[in-house]
Amino acid sequence: MSESRQPVRVGISCGDLNGIGIEVVLKCFEDPRMLAELTPVLYASAKAVSHYRKLLKLEEVQFHRVGDAREALPRKLNLVNLWDEDPPLEPGKPSVSLAAFTIKSLEAAAQDLASGKVDVLVTAPIDKNSMQQAGFAYPGHTEFLQHMAGADSDVLMLLVCEGLRVGCVTGHIPLKEVSAAITTDHILTKARLLHQSLLRDFGVAEPRIALLGLNPHAGDGGALGSEDKERILPAVRRLNEEGIKTMGPYAADGFFGNGSYKHFDGVLAMYHDQGLAPFKALSFGHGVNFTAGLPIVRTSPDHGTGLDIAGQGIADEGSFRAAVWLACDIRANRERYKVINANPLQPQKKEKDRKEG
């Protein structure tokens, strides 16, 4: 790393304290190479982290306790100690009382991100049901961060692994409500978000986007449903008129089965499982959840709390590690995009003035 280049300060919320969040954090930073170009800042408590270090026999993983993220040291796993209480930890068991500490971790990390004390945020998985019972007023991370960032516009959940990027038009809604939510305008909004994210967050110069159909065989010309022909196809045409290279609608099974996804920079599915099931089949353990459309950079691993394996020392940290690196890459891509697109006509004007002079 160049001496002039400052390490990226990565804020990390601890996630569900009875889940695998702290375990994957410790395993990730057990490798000292992870600390070469970034400064991790974990928001939790020294007692909780020490509990899991001992339980999982990871005592060699050292952490540096700080009172404020501004005190974080490079080449160290820094810990902002948020509470001194020592509530009993029972790996594998949902807990409303522990969810209150999870909320405290997320709120502190988000506030430090907003104030510039950390550069990006990586969120460990949460138990949404326990969180909401504990008073969390949002369906999940995305909605909370959208509120914290003051972002009134729509956002897009993207699952990312190497060249595969899959977004969804609809999110966490019952399947019976999906059809009504699939409108041409809604598709356009999400596709534009995907296109902008590919440009700004992933450095793709000329993004190519595929839209999946809603019905089997993309409706089979209307025999299996009219949404593909009446709502999705008009969106494809409109996007191309706007200069956004878009193709579809594709039948989802064949699209992933024959490898067509490899020819596109981004894929827009119509509903949650249509996009996430094939994504996780192809990339589970290394995928990353990224929220596109926010002014801040937030990523998370592509798995849940892992309550069924919590405390057993078998959780794989690969997805969490990928989430850390992707957050750093997206931040760097945004900086480059900002420079490239700042006053694009100004250099031409200066050259013209030089020649005339």
- Which tens digit of pLDDT belongs to each residue from 218-256? 888 889 889 999 999 999 999 999 999 999 999 999 999
- Which tens digit of pLDDT belongs to each residue from 339-355? 988 865 554 544 555 55
- Tell me which of 70-79, 308-317, 343-352 is least confident: 343-352
- Tell me which of 64-78, 111-125, 275-289, 315-329 is least confident: 275-289
pLDDT value at residue 2: 41
pLDDT value at residue 341: 86
User: Which residue has tokens 């993983």?
Assistant: 61
pLDDT value at residue 5: 64
Q: In angstroms, rounded to a whole number, what is the distance separating the alpha carbons of residues 316 and 294?
A: 28
Residue 323 has pLDDT above 80, yes or no: yes
pLDDT value at residue 174: 92
Residue 357 has pLDDT above 60, yes or no: no
Residue 153 has pLDDT above 80, yes or no: no
pLDDT value at residue 3: 45
pLDDT value at residue 150: 76
What's this model's pTM, rounded to 2 decimal places? Answer: 0.90
pLDDT value at residue 191: 98
Q: In angstroms, rounded to a whole number, what is the distance separating the alpha carbons of residues 211 and 294?
A: 22
Q: In angstroms, rounded to a whole number, what is the distance separating the alpha carbons of residues 123 and 247?
A: 33
Q: What is the mean pLDDT of residues 289-307?
A: 94
- Contact predicate 117/256, CB 8 Å: no
Q: Which domains are delineated in the chain?
A: 1-151+294-357 (3.40.718.10), 154-291 (3.40.718.10)
In 3D, which of 101, 109, 106 has the Cα closest to residue 85? 101
Contacts of 16 (CB under 8 A, 6+ apart): 98, 99, 102, 124, 125, 126, 127, 130, 305, 307
- Six token digits for residue 357: 């002079």
The H or E element spanning position 79 is strand 78-81
Q: What is the mean pLDDT of residues 249-277?
A: 95
Q: How many residues are listed for the chain in this entry? A: 357
- Six token digits for residue 328: 């750093």
Contacts of 260 (CB under 8 A, 6+ apart): 210, 250, 254
Mean pLDDT of the chain: 92
- Contact predicate 315/23, CB 8 Å: yes
- Tell me which of 90-94, 208-212, 245-249, 285-289 is least confident: 285-289
Residue 148 has pLDDT above 70, yes or no: yes
- Which tens digit of pLDDT belongs to each residue from 78-128? 999 999 999 999 999 999 999 999 999 999 999 999 999 999 999 999 999
* Backbone φ and ψ of 228, nearest 5°: -65, -45
- Which tens digit of pLDDT belongs to each residue from 2-14? 444 689 999 999 9
Q: Where are the alpha helices (DSSP H) in the chain?
A: 21-28, 46-55, 96-114, 128-133, 141-148, 178-181, 184-200, 227, 233-241, 252-257, 272-283, 318-340, 346-356
- Tell me which of 306-315, 320-329, 338-347 is least confident: 338-347
- Contact predicate 273/256, CB 8 Å: no
- Six token digits for residue 36: 């070469």
pLDDT value at residue 146: 85
Secondary structure class of 298 (helix, strand, coil) = strand
Q: In angstroms, rounded to a whole number, what is the distance separating the alpha carbons of residues 226 and 223?
A: 8
Task: State the CB neighbour count (10 A cutoff) for residue 340.
Answer: 11
pLDDT value at residue 171: 86
